[in-house]
Structure 1
Amino acid sequence: MTFSFELPPERLTWYHLGSLLAAEAGRLTYDRGQYSVHGVSNNAIACHWAGLLVDGDGGMVLTGLGRTMLADWKASPDGQAWLLAERSDDEHDQEQHAATQQPAPTVAEQLDLFGVAS
């Protein structure tokens, strides 16, 4: 039995997007350590109450309505701009990470605990 305490939103906002995108990617799993009451964030529960998400195996999954609204948002100018910005942020983060990586130490360097090679 499914209960819906809220009407579906007229349009998706930042409040819904994180949970819906995580569900679409299969990453909206229950984490009782982080979210002790429901196992997921309050935003995800609000999406559930609005009929955008339902319980699945080990996590929440998109409903037909959630999938349709997310696809429409992704195709909208706002969605395209947001996704492009997210992609460029991810690429920038990867470049920053690669630039700060130092070469792995050699075995001798690892064994030389006090910096005095023998």
Structure 2
Amino acid sequence: MTFSFEQPPAELTWYHLGPLLEAEAGHLTYNPKQHPVHGVSNNAVACCWAGLLADADGGLVLTDLGRSMLASWKASPAGQRWLAGQAAFDEETSAPAAPSLPAPQPVPVRADQLGLFGAAS
């Protein structure tokens, strides 16, 4: 069941995109530890109130309206630019890590070095 307390937005903005994209990917689950009031972010709750998301077992899912508006946004020039930038960022962050440096080796201490700094007081 979907409750709509607000009018749907005329267009999607950054405020709506995070929760809608998470719901589309199936990752918008309740997390009362991170979001103790509603179990989801305030942005996600606002998307519910606007009729873009609906309650499901364990999380929120896109409504038909939310799915339609998200598809329109993805097809728009602004959506295409954002998605291309996101893909480049994902590619950058998934690049193989640089080879790690060898573990530091302990430096042997010689007896003649022990007196260099005087006795500790």
> Paired residue for 2:119?
none
SS at match of 2:28: coil
| Alpha-carbon distance in structure 1 between the residues aligned to 2:98 and 2:39 | 35
| CA RMSD in angstroms, aligned pairs only | 1.8
| Alpha-carbon distance in structure 1 between the residues aligned to 2:7 and 2:52 | 10
Opposite residue 60 of structure 1, the aligned amino acid is: L
Identify unmatched segments of 5+ residues in structure 2: 108-121
State whether residues 2 and 55 of structure 2, in contact with CA within 8 Å, keep that contact through their aligned partners in structure 1.
no
* 2:100 pairs with 1:102: yes
> Paired residue for 1:6?
6
| Alpha-carbon distance in structure 2 between the residues aligned to 1:16 and 1:63 | 13
Opposite residue 92 of structure 1, the aligned amino acid is: E
Percentage identity across paired residues of the two chains: 63
| Number of residue-to-residue matches in the alignment | 106
Q: Which structure has the highest helix share of the two?
A: 1
**Equivalence map 1:41-56=2 (5 Å):** 41-56=41-56
The structure with the larger Rg is: 2
* 2:31 pairs with 1:34: no
SS at match of 2:85: helix
Q: TM-score, normalised by structure 2?
A: 0.80
**Cα deviations by residue, 1:14-54 (Å, 9 ceiling, x for unpaired):** 00000000000000000000000100000000000000000
State whether residues 2 and 48 of structure 2, in contact with CA within 8 Å, keep that contact through their aligned partners in structure 1.
no
**Equivalence map 1:83-98=2 (5 Å):** 83-95=83-95, 98=96
Q: TM-score, normalised by structure 1?
A: 0.82
**Equivalence map 1:76-87=2 (5 Å):** 76-87=76-87
Rate the CA distance shift 1:99–1:42 in 2: closer, same or farther, 3 A. Answer: same
| Alpha-carbon distance in structure 2 between the residues aligned to 1:61 and 1:27 | 9
Opposite residue 34 of structure 2, the aligned amino acid is: Q
| Alpha-carbon distance in structure 1 between the residues aligned to 2:81 and 2:90 | 14
| Alpha-carbon distance in structure 2 between the residues aligned to 1:47 and 1:36 | 18
